[in-house]
Chain A
């Protein structure tokens, strides 16, 4: 329970070595140990989606995964996706459309949306709504978010 475990993983392209208690979840590890506070914690039981990150390319709820499970994994957070420029168009669309208010859900929302946009080039509004239905937003009512994702999909297809 209290014995620490050694883990080695890649976070946003950087090698990270850490000694951690086995009970630390990945969200807390990222926030408290690596100070990557862009990953937000809203419910700590896997419902709200605010802590959504990418592990080995797949989106996961980092509050439902133990940090030790990320041993040897490649983890990407909002900080990494921002710095690499991978989602800069999506972020710009969110800004233009005011698809965020308080911003607390936004990192998780962006990562979930990018997951859809990578997999599908022409998601319709219903598909976008369905894909994002695991991410709570209490401020916007979702429409602006759907608009921003739809606009990004269109732009990536080469439309205007």
Chain B
């Protein structure tokens, strides 16, 4: 790194510089050949399988459980009720102290006395095969006495509505209010005020591999090994130990390949806790793999908000104020340990975020109901905030007859205004809304597209353009969870060592679910060390083998784990050069590492290969000068301290066609411009964005968990719950603006959630743009044919 500190990236532009370059992810062949190891593939000696008998009712008293017949079935090892399991695992309450007033009731691994949603586990059957367990499950008889259900969030707080948890007094889990600036005066000052209620369908992640866990309590070692597809191994270690009465040192969490996660697998689920506890109880490995119906009924759901919004605007397009009143229903418990108040809290934080107005009032209420639990899923709160904000901006533009681009241009925070803060108090280090907007318009050829739209309208073809600016929370510090008392690390660590043949082994606490954590780590370490990437092996997902850290969630892997890798590699590089100088009777300043060998700084001439250096250090240290003790391993940790979050920004646009006879929407094209700071691997960033966009498009058009008035989920299968398929998805063009964060040397911010943040908003705006000549405005997603035809008064 020569002597220059600070922005080191240009200095890394050397033969082994991988930062900023598209290189294939290491070890993809394993997955391409079907030779990965997902938890669902895992088998251990004496392993048993658990199947849960689940409540068919949304709310009921458990009157009696008859397990006699089930216990007699062949292959059955144990039949365990919630009360029996209580002997080995304690209940939990999903609250965080910094979310003031958040309350929830104790939740158990298996229900005791009462079930609160359809799908809650009531009895565990452990057997030698899954089929045997399922056979026995059919014979368990549970007597229920149905209780009144609370399903509609709109009436959950009414005096006449039953209270789900009597001890809490009401069904209000959390409420937050915010009043910034002079909102009433700003609305009075506005020339026009637009308002609408925005409705968001409850949907879920549909990871292609269902949640899976193998828990292995070795009674002789007094140690529990948990094999789980989780985004946060150390968090699972902490929670499992806490509730099983163990020390963390007695719990090892191993995470191999994970078949999709998206926030679904970052939480602690009751059935997974039950699986840990069953292993401890039975002293043998227990495997739980959710089937698809269980996934729909128990994987966290997300969104399900109803948000009233209001915007004031002057004739010249200046937005005077935003106001929202958000309501969301989270199921019967606040999820553990991240809580189910974060999404609503984020909505309050993020509405109006890209814009200059300082007048903003918000209320968010989070209520309990007898449906499956809701919690953080990719882009937590962002799609809600973005859809409300951008929907209101378009409504305001329509009121004053201004082009949607022009109103944004007049209100987006100027690119030279940083650092600054939003009305809700979010601190922005450096964003690029206007550069991003300009780039987007250029990519999509906005004026030509408008002309095409106008000409097609004459042929009765209804196409629409929708635009959505957004900000995204990335690189979260302890402000997210740690300050609220959750043992969820916000720092990450990386250990790097030169092995005895001059290759590099790197252990990182971030995790891989396909984003490219392994690749970005190898790219950074290879670049800093001057070692080719194929010589860098990355180990992740094992609490026994990696430094302590948070894992991969909230768009933090590259920004936080990447910086830790950079810093650790710098130390190792220095240590290697110190040894090299001693061997070569030179000085570290005269030496460099390139292409796996020590070279002269001056002429680049090779001096000694790393392989040879390692041989000397490990096997012939006797030949080194006296007093030299090489340290060919270095560890560094990193957490952002200056800013609680590294905000990113971006903008998306959708071009689509609405068939006004059938109500079908055909997505024609989608554009994204994203600013995530330093880009480590352009291809991986783009693919994260594309994947995120498509999950947002699913929410916009298809995905919804349909509950009836009795709290029954009526489409808990893949045939009835629709997700985006290849035939319906458009090509997505992606552009970048690069504003690195100065907080880290790497300068990387997150990108994993940007696509999801704005996709639904621009689709909804595009549909309304298409329908504008027909006088219809829709502020609800998913935009189903039924919804569109209803808005057009066709049905």
Contacts and interface: CB of A to CB of B under 8 A. Distances in A.
A101 interface: yes
Interface string B692-729: 11110000000000000000000001110001111111
Interface in B189-210: 205-210
B732 interface: yes
Nearest to B74: A2
A140 B719 contact: no
Interface of A: 21, 23, 31, 36-45, 47-48, 50, 77-79, 82, 91, 94-98, 100-107, 110, 125, 128-130, 132-146
Contacts of A139: 260, 514, 691
Given A140-B690, A145-B726, A38 B205 contact: no
Contacts of A107: 34
A35 to B, nearest CB: 8
Contacts of A94: 28, 32
Contact of A44 (B31, B261, B292, B515): B292
Most buried by A among B25, B38, B726: B726
Nearest to B688: A101
B35 interface: yes
27 contacts: A37-B37, A37-B38, A38-B34, A38-B36, A40-B40, A77-B34, A79-B35, A91-B33, A95-B32, A98-B687, A100-B32, A100-B514, A102-B207, A102-B514, A106-B34, A132-B727, A136-B206, A136-B208, A137-B726, A138-B207, A139-B260, A139-B514, A139-B691, A142-B729, A144-B687, A144-B690, A145-B726
Contacts of B515: 101
Interface in B244-262: 257-262
Contacts of A40: 34, 38, 40, 208-209, 259
- Classify the interface of chain A: helix, strand, loop or mixed: loop
Given A40-B208, A44-B291, A132-B726, A106 B687 contact: no
B603 interface: no
B693 A136 contact: no
Given A44-B292, A95-B29, A105-B208, A140 B687 contact: yes
Contacts of A128: 726
Contacts of B687: 98, 101, 140-141, 144
A8 B28 CA distance: 34
Contacts of B692: 141
B24 interface: yes
B293 to A, nearest CB: 9
B374 interface: no
Contacts of B737: none
B41 interface: yes
- Classify the interface of chain B: helix, strand, loop or mixed: loop
Given A44-B292, A103-B259, A141 B32 contact: no
Contacts of B724: 141-142
A146 to B, nearest CB: 7
B138 interface: no
Contacts of A135: 726
The 5 tightest CB contacts between A and B, nearest first, are A38-B34, A103-B31, A101-B514, A104-B259, A141-B694
Interface string B237-278: 000000000000000000001111110000000000000000
Given A40-B259, A132-B726, A140-B687, 18 more contacts: A36-B34, A40-B38, A82-B35, A98-B684, A100-B31, A101-B260, A102-B261, A102-B514, A103-B31, A103-B514, A133-B725, A137-B208, A141-B687, A141-B693, A142-B724, A142-B729, A143-B690, A144-B687
A98 B291 contact: no
B149 to A, nearest CB: 28
B719 A47 contact: yes
A142 B694 contact: yes
Interface in B21-62: 24-25, 28-38, 40-41
Most buried by B among A42, A130, A143: A143
B690 A102 contact: no
B690 A48 contact: no
Nearest to B262: A138
Nearest to A125: B731
Contacts of A78: 33-34
Most buried by B among A78, A82, A102, A128: A102
A114 B733 CA distance: 26
Given A79-B34, A142-B726, A98 B24 contact: yes
A143 B732 contact: yes
B491 interface: no
Most buried by B among A41, A138, A145: A138
